[in-house]
Structure 1
Amino acid sequence: MTGEHLILCNCPDGFELVRDGECRGKHAQLNMADDESVNVTIASCKEIGGIPVIIHDDEQQNYWSASGDGSSFPIGLVCNFTSTKWEWADGSPVDYKPPLGTQNDDLDKPCGKCSWFGYANGDWKKWCDTTRYSVAVFCSVRLQPPVPSADGCDGFVDDSDDGVCYQILDTADVFQGAQMLCKQLGANAASVHTAQENSFIRRLAVSRGAVDGVYLGASVSGKGYDFAWTDGTNWDYENFHPGFPKTGYGDCLAMDTSISSGLWMNINCSEDLPVACIRDQKEVVDPICSNETWKEGQIITSPGFPFNASTFCDYFLTVDAGKKVEAVIDLEANSCCDYLTIYDGYLGGNLIANLTGEIRSKVIKTTTSNIMRVNWVPNGAVNVRGLVMSFKGVLH
């Protein structure tokens, strides 16, 4: 299982994140008759949790008119046979008409078994025949913003009242990768300090399908096989399988989740295993832009991430003199309104990127400076999560 609150890019493939957390795009190309087009389109959009083209204002009208590549496309006007009035597929009223519509009067007449199409020139036209054509299906999908959980664990799982949250994350190919998975969620590979914690992690792992073992957050420290927790907490509990740790078996620690006691074994650090992560419960506070000095490898997020992305923030990412800054950017922003601007240098530097919409793992580098300035500039940031990034110094 992945950490749901860090995952960005929830729009269907090929869709654009446009406004208020709404993804828009072409879903399919289907053969359909004019009179059945709206029903086929509604069913097709439903496959991805979406709705057909619905237009209530000039922005939506202009966007969809420009999206059809010159071809007509079904829009989501349906007939309410009880009231005999046209309405949108989501039940909303027809409160907008195309400025240059040639059939606007028909929108006020009793409706029937017909379908409406949008055109590149902004017109809407009603068609009722049974001739079949290949038609582009456009849909919109609304992102569902995360809601802070009452226990402060937000995508993790709470174990009673210990103030700690747990999660089992996807398989990592090495222990270092497992640690990074946890750190991307503001967590650490799990340290275990009581039998209750050990039992809870084992049960959680099994419930997530991790039945062949999970990495724990410990590795060999110093000479011999003395283990230490990588989060720096005290080694005050252990649950090794009899005879473990064994010389030559490896310098990392795993829990055997196939048995109810959740016994530990030392393993090679290059094993492919899921990882148990742990973090403290979070208190939900008003988002503010931190003025802290950011460090290489640190996971940096926009203020309020992932629940509220509406606060401006200025970041100065600095590496050693003689090096350049390489940043990895993940972004969820409305392309109509919210932007991330990135500069080579911190005062009067060259603009090297202006990003919006959905961005995943985009690498941006400075070319002249060891400082990168990153501005998160939201204009509402409605129903989007904002920014996640990290950075490091590179020689070229």
Structure 2
Amino acid sequence: MRIFTNKLKHYEAETDCKYLGGALVTSKNAASNRDIANLAASVGANTVWIGAYCYATGNNTNTCYHDDNSGVVTYNQFAPGNPNVQGSGGCVYMQVSGPSAGKWISAPCEVVGMPFICEVPITNPDTYCLHNYNGYCYMASHEMNLANPVNTTYDKAQSICRANNANLVSFHSKPELDWVKSIYRNTGVQQIFAGAKAFLPDTFEWADGSNWDFDYTNPLSTSTGNCLIMDLSSRPDNGMWSETNCQNINYFVCKRLIPVATEATTPAGEELEEMEETKEHQKSVNPKFQRPQTKTELLDFSNCNSTIVMSPGTITSFGYPNTKPPAAYCIWNIAALGPYRIGIYFTDFSTYANVRIYDEFGNLISLQNGNQRPFSVLGATNVFQITYDSSIDAYYGYHGCLFADIVCPSGFTLINQQKCLKVYTAQVQHLDATKQCTSLGGTLVTIKNAIDNRAVANFAANAGLSNFWIGGFCYTRDEVACFHDDSSGVMTYNSFGAGYPQNNFAIGQCVYMKTSGTSAGQWATNRCHRDTMPYVCEVPLTLEDQTCQHNYNGYCYLPDQEILGPTQLPKDFKAAQDICQANNANLASIHSKQEIDYIKTLYRSSGVDEILLGAQASKPHVFKWIDGSAFGYSYRNPFDNSTENCLKMSVTDELGPNQQMIYGTWSETGCQEVNNFLCKRRIVGKFPQTAEKQKAPVPVHYDITDPSNCNNTMLIAPGTITSFGYGTSPLPGGFCYYKIAAIGAYRVAIHFTDFSTWYNVDVTDQFGENVARLYNSRDPFSVLVESTIAVLTHDADKDASSDRHGFKAVVLPF
């Protein structure tokens, strides 16, 4: 056991324990209960979370389960009146001080934070073992003293393990799987061999001869092969196994039993019989086994209207897969134990009526019908309820559905089949919140209709948030000057409370949502740079693709190092495009700043500085995307003066000469130049359709005789500004005021490509703080303004008489 004194909500505490390969501590007898209470008291804790959860409403202890998957709680120390579960399940904590010391009390899981105690399995000592867990030593190939490569075929990997008195890893619980995943955290390894091999199609056995008593095969995987790999990518449901060719090259981990020094004993007769009987039961089983049926047989494996189904398991519509299934209204209550959440994997789906999925708080998170390809719904809670009426399915020729249900870790949660959201409870300023969201390729959550507004409010409230930043910024007091963070333009829907937006016209204000009281669901504005609160990030909805490691906005991204391996040499444009097409893809096209931000995340700590893009010039400085998509977005490097026929993108965060900001920008390059590259493949499928009406944009004054944007109301980046009359002779005099804004998650970058002035060009941020004072003649340079608005002023009256010609600058969001 190990006690943590930081106060976390129940799920956060469970997650910390899960990363250690354990769970919140379980108390199964009076002695262990005393030990837990004494340990907590020794650090001055008054209460601690323990590893139990009660699913049923009221005081029923029969549906209270231990977090360690050992089943129903058979020993308890509940205080009088407990468990007192109110509708959506209850977590359990121990009172440590006072007359109720040692007693258990139920409480809402995500409301109160308190200390907690983690428990991991007892193991045996081994001086030479780096990863010691539950009596076994785990040896990862990238940490073993091996000659290159550290990734190899299945048979060679097993030979290496056998040479180290071990076998390729077998798995016997979800905590063990999580423990192995933790070995590879921050290593960049995407998958490893599991120590299983097929002796019949889809029928596997462990290389170490152990019992197949745990299964985590991916229900939606269509791959085939005689070996298994385990997914270690950043997917929210990682850790699952898929079939693979045994000749493929993969990393691997060996697992060795750590011996216990005990006196040798000979089993007695009864013990020997019991051992033989155990061996008989420990035969390999088919992880994808389904019981055969005759044409007339009607069996019910559906679990329809069962009290509660503990995942992992399988449920189906009633009578599935009969040609004419009987009519039935079914409710399924599905629960996951401890630190795990629920994933529903629909492997077959054909219904006329809606299948509705609710979380444990009664929020509708998915509604599906029709004939659909396999898909999944991942939740953020311990309990799901599914309802479905099959009474008219057969009449309309539908056959029902099969759900393969399996637990999964938390991550982004699908809301209303429209939004992928994640709550951050840290109290931060608006800028820090937006930076975190953009680092994920997303933005603060944007809300564009009343249905989504209710769903986002409920989602945040269930996470314990009362106020939180959302993706909006108002430049004036008028609603038509409020913009979404996702660059989709002026807010087409709002839920501002009375008196809002209420902002200082000079600096603008950020938008947040309230979730409690009579103002629940209403928006307000606040000071971006002073006030702090939690926030919700949103990344684009995407389409399911079990073969894709980097799935974003309906596309699969394939870095060259993952296709070819890290030792392969860079390629020129033609060779790179040929490799992409061999993988049913093209060199990447880019269509938004958020997509740039996502691509940059693929290269963090990779050592790669720039990559080829899928663009070729049709004439000088005019490019087309090779995948045929429209060249409707540009993030060209303003300082690039080259004339070439291909484009490359900077993925390093270092500044160029003279503090030139080039991170994420595109520059021209020769098509014969070799470089790293990125492939992009469209995922087959359709997104849900949404209908949104567009409001009129903020009116901006443009004078075609003056492209300078001098004294315009506001310029939304990207764009260009110049001194008044730039490029003409003689220069007219005049004072210019420029107000420049970047939408939502981005700041203003001013790239001066030409600069020669007599009087100062003063640059201030939205709060009036001076950022730069510039004058004289200078080489091209950048000024980065750490705010959503930048203001420039310049008096050009003496430029002409002092042999100065003014300035030109490109403004970009960054």
Larger RCO, structure (CA 8 Å, separation 6 or more): 1
What TM-score, normalized to structure 2? 0.24
